[in-house]
Amino acid sequence: MNKPDIVGMLESVGMTPPASGDYQNPVPYYLSSLGPGSRRTMKQALRVITGIFSQNKFTDPLFLPWMRINTKSL
């Protein structure tokens, strides 16, 4: 997926593209696969999970390095 496509996808699920230009985060891809009614619920759940993993330093799931989470992280 190229950069303009991912920006549109992020905006369609109510998220702001990261300033860093990191478009490898799986969150927008996952959210875009859900129906509109499920996106809001799952987006909130991902914010809670992000807060837990970041020790409440941030809650935006776009900033959590999901690819680094493994069973040792749990």
- The residue ranges of the chain whose pLDDT is under 70 are 1-7, 9-10, 12-23, 73-74
What's residue 53's pLDDT? 85
What's residue 25's pLDDT? 77
Q: Model's pTM, two decimal places?
A: 0.66
Domain holding 45, by residue range, is 3-73
- Indicate the SS3 state at residue 74: coil
Residues in CB range of 58: below 8 A, 6 or more apart: 50, 51, 64
User: Under a CB-based contact definition with an 8 Å cutoff, are residues 66 and 27 in contact?
Assistant: yes
What's residue 1's pLDDT? 47
